[in-house]
Amino acid sequence: MEFVNAKTIIQTVKGNHSWFGASYNMNIYRGCNQGCIYCDSRSNCYQVHNFDKVKAKRNAPILIENELKSKKNKGVISMGSMSDPYNAFEEKLEYTKQALSSIHKYNFGVFIITKSILVLRDKQILSEINKKNVVNIAITITTANDLLQSRIERNVSSSSQRFLALKELAEKGLFTGILLMPILPFINDTVDNISKIIDLAYEANVKYIYPSFGVTLRDNQRDYFLDKIGAELRNKYINTFKDNYMCRSKNIDELKATFTKKCDEYGILYKMEDIINESNKYVKEEQLALFQ
């Protein structure tokens, strides 16, 4: 890991805030050491060189404090869109934890994307934020099989651990969900995998699952991914998808049908508008009792 300085950290989300209702985006770290073979953040367009080496923004805590203090418009801040806010170095650095304290101090909400159970460390401050603002925690899970998971997401909490973390966060009264993405053709795109994930999500009291039934591949990320999956699968990808950016599962219709049917049966949300609306209902604003 190395430290770098940043000029700014919090960016305004353009458009209609359709990505989980986020108004702002924040990435405290650049690069990631979780070793997921499919990560689109390796693509050249993001200009993160040597992606597997984590770079921590040395001045992140003070920058975040100052930027939040100066913003007149409150909103939900998204964390983890490019690099996981709970990478292995966060346990000691606590930059994400400090950011959450500032988010709480200045009355913002937060949407977190992670694969790490380290998020459990911050459940108390998340509960404090949730007393007045939106807290939405999405844990990415791509397979219910821990062995397969260890091969495609090599240096991160197991799928089993992530389901347990989701259950613990839900028991804390927090709004939780699963990012079911990417679904990799010929690897985890089976009805059985989708069904097991939904069953386990229901057991963990997850409120939503947001899917993508394919994987994006371009430039150096394509090369990285194809190099990691072995010759037989590599040839299968090349013959099937050529140089397509979006590589969708050939089982997509069957997977979608299974997904929507099971989610509807369990009452698990999967449409973005419904997820955003429901997350707003979870705010536990404390009311001052009259005539105290």
What confidence score (pLDDT) does residue 285 get? 64
pLDDT band at 16 (very low <50, low <70, confident <90, very high): low
Q: What letter does residue 185 receive in the DSSP assignment?
A: T
Please give the average per-residue pLDDT across 92-109, as a whole number: 97
Percentage above 90 pLDDT, the chain: 87
Dihedral of the CA atoms 89, 1, 143, 182 (nearest 10)?
Answer: 120
Contact 38, 215 (CB under 8 A): yes
Closest CA to 83 of 9, 147, 20, 145: 9
DSSP codes joined into one string, 34-80: S-BTT-GGGSGGG--SSTTS-EEETTHHHHHHHHHHH-SS--EEEE-
CB-CB contact of 152 with 187 (8 Å): yes
pTM over 0.75: yes
Question: pLDDT at position 256, please?
Answer: 98
> Quick check: 5 pLDDT over 60?
yes
**What domains lie within the chain, and their CATH numbers?**
2-280 (3.20.20.70)
Q: Average pLDDT in the 120-139 region?
A: 97
* CB-count burial class (<10 Å; 0-12, 13-18, 19+) for 17: middle
Provide the pLDDT for residue 292.
40
pLDDT band at 288 (very low <50, low <70, confident <90, very high): very low
pLDDT at 11: 93
